Every structure is written in C-alpha cells, then in structure tokens.
Homo-oligomer: A and B are copies of this chain.
C-alpha cells in the first residue's frame, strides 16, 4: 500500500522545512507507514516528497527489493568505515546521517515527537536543523483509513469475535463449584478451576489459528475487573462480573481490532446489573453522536451525560475520582491499538474513514467492573459498526 502523504507535503511547506525524518524500527507505526518497509532494528526514513531510506548493510538488499522507496542507501555509501576510524562508531553514524541529508539538499527536518533525543542533538551539533512536531501529522494521516485498511480492520474484528465466542463458551460450559480448594463459587471447566489465564490462553490459541496475535488480553473478574488496565488473574467466580477485552493484531497486515464484553455466570449484583443497562445506554448515546463533523469530545460528553445523570462519577465531574467512568470513551485503531482520533475531552473533529472504539464502562472495587466496547468506522453519513457480537450480561 502506498499511503497518500500529500498532507505531509502541505505540512512541510507550512513549516518551511525540507523534509520529515523518522528514526525507528518498524514496530513504530509512523515508521512502517511512511517508509513502507519492515525491519526489526532502527533505520532512517527521510520524506521530502519522495521516500529515501538509510539502512544497515544487513537490510540493504531486502530494502531495495521490498520497499517502494525512491532511493535506498546504506552506511557504507558514506565512507562509514573511514569515519569510524576518525570519529568512533557513534559520531560516524551521526555524520553519515547528516551527509545523507545534505545529499538530498535537506537542511531542516521536522520529526515525530518521539524522535530520539540523543540523535537529534547530535545532528544539531553537526549543523542540521531538527524540530519535533507534536501535532502528530502522520498520526492524523494514519487516522483516516483507506478502503484497504478498513478491510484489514474488519477482518481482524471477525477473528476477534471468534475468539470472544470461545471465551464465552468456556464460561457457559463451566459449572459453579462450592467445595474446591480455590474457595466457594469458583467456575470449574472439565474438572479444572477455570482461571483468567486459561481463558486467555484459549483466546490466543483461537486467534493464532487464524493468523492473529496479541501481546495481551484482559480477562478480569471481580475486583480485578474494577481496574480497567488489570489483565486479570486467578479463578473466575460466579455472580461476579468478568470483563473480556480482546485486541488482536493480524500477523500479516499488522492491523488491529478491539472489542470488550462483560459476562456474569450466575446472578449479577444489583449494581452490576444497573451498570450494564446504563453502559448499553451510554454506548447508544455515543453512537448517536458519532458522525463526521462531530468532535470526539462531543461523543465522550454523551457518555458522561448518561453516567452523571444516573448519579455516577466521571473524570469530567471529578478529575480525581477512582470509581465510576474513569477512562475515555474510545480511541482510533489501526497499525496501533491506540491511535487517533481520540474520543475524550481532547477529541477533535471526526472525519469519514476514522476507525474508533466506543467503550463506556463503570468501575468500583466494591462491585466490580462493566465495559462494553464496539469498533466502528465513521462514514460520510454516520458510521458503520463492524461489531456483530451479542450483548448479554448473564451467561447461562
């Protein structure tokens, strides 16, 4: 895929800079997107209207073959060996980069905000003008997905739903035991106490079989579920909420999907049952607000309104609260699991092609946690929800 970087041209014009410079490995999505290349060690990408790569000897052949870059250089093209003898490895590498910029008539570069400080200061010492931009110009470009990118995410969501079904199936098949070593009320599946770790493993195996991987999954029960970032551990229990949040990445396309469901085996307490209904209402309110021209802040406010009207705290009503709705409403999804746009107090205008999660939730260690999360693309006249998974709190 050749991304449309015309907005980057306009940005560089506006800044009066000669080029955009990225130094990172391909795990960095800005690097992957701009360079169109994939390498495990850091390499340099200069965009000056065309893409120019500076890579190690090890990557040189593959970069020429696999990337669509207008030019590919390697350190040896700039007398790296002689420079090492004269200046040592570190300064030799810096001097190669500055010569590479000179060769492309680039005196001033803008970089992503997370460009490495040591390299930037070294290039400055050698005469280059290096300025980090914090607007996230490439993030903004990446936030608007092409049709091909939307398909990648839709495919990932299909795999995600198969994994969620496997997780729900395990909970459904489990029996509630009263007399195990792990205490009373724990779930038991085929004679074994059913733990977060077991459900997580089954989710991962299901995804792996279809070419998807994940670094982490959340299968969090009870008090664990009350902490939105707790991955969960130990036995799953009846009558307590179990949050399952899965965000797989395609090994091939590198695009993510994201979805959350909350389950209770047995009887939810009244608060969790109320929270579930409210969270469905909050999700609907968010989707009602989701359209091009609306801001991410407006979508987030719609969720806060529902929760606050029902008497629950949010970070909008109390920035120090540790219970209630204590995160943002959603985020963009693409090559990164968290990317633009943001559905939060900082959320800006939404555009067709933005792919976002909508994930309201309520948390309190006393009761547990509830979160429901769908993933959708903003369209010309509203949105299309990729998520086609039922919402049923109680699993029989």
Contacts and interface: CB of A to CB of B under 8 A. Distances in A.
A114 B113 contact: no
Given A118-B133, A121-B132, A213-B215, A319 B41 contact: no
A81 B338 CA distance: 23
Contacts of A230: 62
A7 interface: no
B319 A81 contact: yes
Interface string A15-44: 000000000000000000000000111000
A41 B209 CA distance: 28
Contacts of A121: 132
Nearest to A249: B215
A62 B365 CA distance: 12
B118 A116 contact: no
Interface residues of A, number: 48
A111 to B, nearest CB: 6
Nearest to A122: B134
A130 B39 CA distance: 30
Contact of A132 (B57, B61, B117, B209): B117
Interface string A227-262: 111100000000000000000000000000000000
B132 A326 contact: no
A256 to B, nearest CB: 13
A229 B59 contact: yes
Interface in A190-204: 201, 204
A99 B76 CA distance: 46
A322 interface: yes
Contact of A113 (B61, B118, B205): B118
Interface string A335-375: 00010000000100000000000000000000000000000
Interface of A: 39-41, 57-62, 76, 80-81, 89-90, 111, 113-121, 130, 132-134, 201, 204-205, 208-209, 213, 215-216, 227-230, 315, 319-320, 322, 326-327, 338, 346
24 contacts: A39-B229, A40-B229, A57-B315, A57-B320, A57-B322, A57-B326, A58-B228, A59-B229, A60-B322, A62-B229, A76-B319, A81-B319, A113-B117, A114-B114, A114-B116, A115-B116, A116-B132, A117-B120, A118-B132, A118-B133, A118-B134, A204-B208, A205-B209, A213-B213
